[in-house]
Chain A
């Protein structure tokens, strides 16, 4: 062992971009290629996709999916998943718009969003980290519970039709020529990428995903990280709920049901392994845009609801077969 002290660099040291040019980075670039391919198909099917009007709609839709994909990316990276998203969206939308209308202040809606996010996130953490239940099954059960709560609430309290102006502005308004919602996504997305690449939080996520046992033995605060991830995921979902109610000017039962599969598909298309430890949010962004375009193509082709579901499942399966083999 040589004496400690300042010494020359080992190797050339990684350039910030080249460092990640392993298989994970290649998958991420592949996801953008897939996006281009799908965009090409969309234009071929309907040339209106070249126009800003149509694209603007797609960007807003992609925002909703992309925001939820933030939480899902984090969860999937540590080997978990959050399927309580659909009714978190709905419950948050109903509660926040209702309570804001009842008490007459807009900021209450945002406070409810955060409250719902924290409550659901901690409930998920309870099952997944403390009770060691498989996250997929636990969050599905929580989803059912939230559905029940939403039903009870709407039965007890007649829902309002008044949507907070701020929500409407965020969902429908523009900043310059950009949709305001899209800007929100850009900010959140950039923060997520930064967090994963350069914050202790992100480092811990990759460690846990790579080897939970080694993370435990290295002193990584697994419980804290898990709780933060589920809270972020639920808060994103709750926020999307509020945005959706602003977008469609109503909050109704079942409004979140279409947001179960697409965000997960976005994460998988984006190159994040479902078993955890590899991937990142940059790919999920491409994945969200791809998913939205795929949905639009299927709608344009007048494909029935059932066929759409089938096609999505098949695409996801094909990706899994190609890119997501189990070890051994």
Chain B
């Protein structure tokens, strides 16, 4: 029974009287030395929406991967319709009737929308030839169900903005008419209207008897849709709310553990208290079609400026463009320390004084096969040179110093980066820039997939950087982080700045309002 926003109980739904469609017991999974999931249980009943709540790194995506057949559990069992199953591959899970909407979309950029939606189940003529017309029609029907009538089934997926791509991903999962539908962050880029449509579809599926798993950070959506809620923290299931018995406060407390206390006592964000004219980075009229247009701001030394908004509104592209990752098309003005800059490659930006800590640290930020020392020293190889060779001693001094300063937990500086935990890897990525003393740091979703403890430490690093006069640009897909770190927040919407918030007015609600509307009071 879902809990309506106003707290009233509604009758209906098959509920726990029926046998579970899917029962997972004792699921455990470790990756290398890290335990991602430990003895997790999950029971999905037909006609019920089961929500999974948990902070980053709590194990939600691991659980999803086990259910979808992408990974195999080290321990534990999965039963579908009473029969024990072993999903050796995603194909097996799909065959068992489990469809997944992935957070990292599983689409093919070069194929059309229709081809993506119906991949693997293309309608055939004469048993062999792909019936393109029928495929287009079926795709149209599925998209219409989601209210996405403006998406052309023949459009190339790679050209679509993120919100439309998300809808295609959802349509793809729906096309298999699944018994179990798993939705992993399906609404992170969607507009209000699109979210409403999706909610209607989910409710309709629920009424038809589909078992649904919903993972979302938006407690509002959870409260509207979910019958049952399970809470994960640090890889373990720490609580379950049966139908009709959900409490937001208790859920947050379970989700965050100790960090909950911190959140309770957290001070509201503070406006920048330094010299207003101490501008280190000046941006005005920055445009890069089709990703963003007319972005402008002044960033002062020691200030932390956040870029918020729904996913896919141009924040990431803006930060990448600032770092010189777009080879052409960038227009506008960028000034660092008074010098003009229009970077065409990262080396330009680095020379001007910008450091980037990217989101995908596995392949973008760090060299997993190289040692910690080699990772940290990579930006200053020239200065470590004595005559022709790298001085081991100078390198050791530098690296050890940074390991200390950032509190990186490692056996020695010679171990490969890949053997560290996610949070420590991220710290190494930060460390390599410290040696260069760049005045501007850009953090691009640094806490994605990082657990709560490491996140706290990373925040400490950012605060310390700001305290020492570094200017920080901060982007995160977790809306709760902005009030913890930023002095000011720019909210992006469709490639432009929809509004800005300062100090105490940086709240989740204000950010959400600006993400969806130009100003809070504007009607739809």
| Residues of chain A having any CB pair with chain B under 8 Å | 1-2, 4-14, 16, 19, 22, 194, 198-200, 203-204, 206-207, 210-211, 213-221, 277-278
On chain B, the residues within 8 Å of A4 by CB distance are 401, 405
> Which of A8, A19, A198, A203 is close to B378, meaning CB atoms less than 8 Å apart?
A203
The complex places the Cα of A256 from the Cα of B90 at a distance, in Å, of: 50
The complex places the Cα of A133 from the Cα of B391 at a distance, in Å, of: 36
Shortest CB-to-CB span from A46 to chain B, Å, is 42
B151-159, B357-365, B505-513: which lies at the interface: B357-365
The answer, yes or no, to whether B344 is at the interface (CB within 8 Å) is: no
| Residues of chain B having any CB pair with chain A under 8 Å | 323, 345-347, 350-351, 356, 358, 363-371, 374, 377-379, 381-382, 384-385, 388-390, 392, 396-397, 399-401, 403-407, 410-414, 416, 432, 460-461, 464
Report if A219-B464 is in contact (Cβ < 8 Å); known contacts: A1-B407, A210-B368, A214-B367: no
The complex places the Cα of A143 from the Cα of B156 at a distance, in Å, of: 38
Q: What 14 additional pairs, Cβ within 8 angstroms, besides A2-B407, A200-B385, A211-B367?
A: A6-B401, A9-B396, A13-B396, A14-B412, A200-B381, A200-B390, A207-B370, A210-B369, A213-B363, A214-B365, A218-B346, A219-B351, A277-B369, A278-B369
The 6 closest A-B pairs by CB, nearest first: A11-B412, A200-B381, A14-B414, A219-B350, A210-B367, A198-B389
On chain B, the residues within 8 Å of A22 by CB distance are 416
> Which of A6, A10, A203 is close to B377, meaning CB atoms less than 8 Å apart?
A203
The complex places the Cα of A200 from the Cα of B381 at a distance, in Å, of: 6
Please state if B464 and A199 are interface contacts (CB–CB under 8 Å): no
Residue of A nearest to B360 (CB): A213
Please state if B370 and A217 are interface contacts (CB–CB under 8 Å): no
Please state if A7 and B404 are interface contacts (CB–CB under 8 Å): yes
Report if A10-B410 is in contact (Cβ < 8 Å); known contacts: A194-B389, A204-B381, A219-B350: yes
On chain A, the residues within 8 Å of B406 by CB distance are 1
Report if A213-B390 is in contact (Cβ < 8 Å); known contacts: A10-B410, A207-B378: no
Main secondary structure of the interface of B (DSSP, over half): helix
Please state if A210 and B370 are interface contacts (CB–CB under 8 Å): yes
Please state if B364 and A7 are interface contacts (CB–CB under 8 Å): no
Report if A200-B356 is in contact (Cβ < 8 Å); known contacts: A1-B406, A11-B412, A211-B367: no
The complex places the Cα of A278 from the Cα of B367 at a distance, in Å, of: 12
Please state if A217 and B364 are interface contacts (CB–CB under 8 Å): yes
Please state if B400 and A213 are interface contacts (CB–CB under 8 Å): no
The complex places the Cα of A183 from the Cα of B350 at a distance, in Å, of: 43
Please state if A2 and B370 are interface contacts (CB–CB under 8 Å): no
The complex places the Cα of A27 from the Cα of B411 at a distance, in Å, of: 24
Please state if A13 and B364 are interface contacts (CB–CB under 8 Å): no
The complex places the Cα of A36 from the Cα of B406 at a distance, in Å, of: 47
On chain A, the residues within 8 Å of B385 by CB distance are 200
> Which of B377, B390, B400, B416 is close to A9, meaning CB atoms less than 8 Å apart?
B400
Please state if B378 and A199 are interface contacts (CB–CB under 8 Å): no
On chain A, the residues within 8 Å of B401 by CB distance are 4-7
On chain B, the residues within 8 Å of A2 by CB distance are 404-405, 407
Shortest CB-to-CB span from B324 to chain A, Å, is 10
Report if A10-B403 is in contact (Cβ < 8 Å); known contacts: A19-B414, A207-B374, A211-B368: yes
Please state if A10 and B389 are interface contacts (CB–CB under 8 Å): no
22 pairs, CB–CB < 8 Å, chain A vs chain B: A5-B401, A7-B400, A9-B396, A13-B396, A14-B371, A14-B414, A19-B371, A194-B389, A198-B392, A199-B389, A200-B381, A203-B374, A203-B378, A203-B390, A204-B381, A210-B368, A210-B369, A216-B345, A217-B356, A219-B351, A220-B378, A221-B347
The complex places the Cα of A211 from the Cα of B358 at a distance, in Å, of: 14
On chain A, the residues within 8 Å of B411 by CB distance are 11
The complex places the Cα of A112 from the Cα of B401 at a distance, in Å, of: 49
> Which of B323, B412, B460 is close to A13, meaning CB atoms less than 8 Å apart?
B412
Residue of A nearest to B388 (CB): A199
On chain A, the residues within 8 Å of B414 by CB distance are 11, 13-14, 19
Shortest CB-to-CB span from A37 to chain B, Å, is 28
Residue of B nearest to A9 (CB): B400
Shortest CB-to-CB span from A28 to chain B, Å, is 15
Please state if B381 and A203 are interface contacts (CB–CB under 8 Å): yes
The complex places the Cα of A295 from the Cα of B385 at a distance, in Å, of: 42
Please state if A12 and B412 are interface contacts (CB–CB under 8 Å): yes
On chain B, the residues within 8 Å of A8 by CB distance are 400
Residue of B nearest to A203 (CB): B381
Please state if B363 and A200 are interface contacts (CB–CB under 8 Å): no
Shortest CB-to-CB span from B393 to chain A, Å, is 10
On chain A, the residues within 8 Å of B382 by CB distance are 200
Please state if B381 and A213 are interface contacts (CB–CB under 8 Å): no
> Which of B364, B370, B407, B412 is close to A213, meaning CB atoms less than 8 Å apart?
B364
Please state if A6 and B397 are interface contacts (CB–CB under 8 Å): yes
The complex places the Cα of A203 from the Cα of B378 at a distance, in Å, of: 8
Report if A217-B323 is in contact (Cβ < 8 Å); known contacts: A12-B412, A22-B416, A203-B374: yes
The complex places the Cα of A220 from the Cα of B347 at a distance, in Å, of: 8
Report if A219-B413 is in contact (Cβ < 8 Å); known contacts: A1-B405, A10-B400: no
